[in-house]
Amino acid sequence: MNRKSRLGRFSLGQGARWTLGMFALLLLGGLVAGVGFNKEGGQAGQAAEPPPKEVRLGYFANLTHAQAVLGASSGEFERAVGPSSKFSTKVFNAGPSLIEALFAGEIDIGYVGPGPALTGFDKSHGQGLRVVSGAAANGVVIVARSGSGINTLQDLAGRKIASPQHGNTQDLSARHYLTAELKRDASTVVPIANAEQAGLMSRGEIDASWAPEPWGSYLVAQTGAKVIATERDLWPEKSFAITLVVTTPEFLKKHPDVVEKVLRVHLDWTDRLKGDPQTYLPQLEQALFSLTNKRLPPGVLPAALPNVTFTEEPLEHTFVKYAQWSYDLGFSKEPTDTTGLIDTSIVKRLRAVGPSPAAARPASGSSTATTKPAGS
């Protein structure tokens, strides 16, 4: 074989390798450009998962869940996630049942208290739940039945005290106060659904209630009960988280865009309720009636509103306390390590962008989303 033939074959091989090399570089460059990196160092432009067929939100018919109640009733959540995804809601009485539904895949995002959120995080070994925003702080009153002889918190010793559900946030607080402060047995704390407490109190079957708003103010208006304390006064910080927004790590990873859309509406309502909450009381009252079929007596919501602070801050000191209380009361085998529980990166990014124009406008419209009571 002559030199020219060998050179010809050699030149052809180099050319092929050069071409393949350039193709590989161009392909890699395209992938890098398509992926990109966000400021936190994570990949920001990964191929998105297809939108979910349905986005399912869980919450309570409480004043302390006002962003959820109003975001759903106004249709804003539905419009935010549509038209690519259907939107539906499910209403719960208290947190433990909501966490069960979240873990069972019956809802995707929920509003819940710190007690059940911690319990769920602990039972899933930190793998089943993330707090993506705060929603409300304080908003709990301790009320005593008229004629019960209960005038102070010390008088609760040995008396029958209602809480919304065994293991929920108010249940933990009531049990902790009885055992740690009064040095009494917590077996007198009985779980009774909020909507059923007024009838039992009127008949003298319960003596007091550790109640989230507006149910505490409802008991005052409906039964003549009196407020003997607000829970925030029992906290050294004079504030504690009562409502959080949670989802699963899986849903957050697959659909961060959906979580962001929901949180954008959540923040809009947080800002409205911070700015001029009285404006939205008629809308909130009508939405609560639609969920419970119970019309609140006049004056209940205005009386309850000053007890609640709406905020997107999760108030992390709350988790430290509830983690210890859950352990002390036997709800967990050891104080829960909360590392990884809170991920408010989406909220922080939305706040950095600035308020949505919609936050300054009165909300209007209505939802056609399906609402189911818990257990259905």
Which structural domains are found in the chain, ordered by start?
A: 54-138+239-373 (3.40.190.10), 140-234 (3.40.190.10)
Number of H helices, E strands in the chain: 14, 12
* pLDDT tens, N- to C-terminus, the chain (376 residues): 443 333 333 333 444 443 444 444 344 444 333 333 343 333 344 446 899 999 999 999 999 999 999 999 999 999 999 999 999 999 998 899 999 999 999 999 999 999 999 999 999 999 999 999 999 999 999 999 999 999 999 999 999 999 999 999 999 999 999 999 999 999 999 999 998 999 999 999 999 999 999 999 999 999 999 999 999 999 999 999 999 999 999 999 999 999 999 999 999 999 999 999 999 999 999 999 999 888 889 999 999 999 999 999 999 999 999 999 999 999 988 899 999 999 999 999 999 998 777 666 656 555 566 665 554 3
Residue 259's contacts (CB-CB under 8 Å, 6 or more residues apart) are: 109, 132, 247, 251, 252, 346
Q: Where are the beta strands (DSSP E) in 35-104?
A: 54-60, 86-92
Cα separation, 25 vs 31, in Å, equals: 10
Q: Is the pTM of this model over 0.85?
A: no
Cα separation, 52 vs 79, in Å, equals: 15
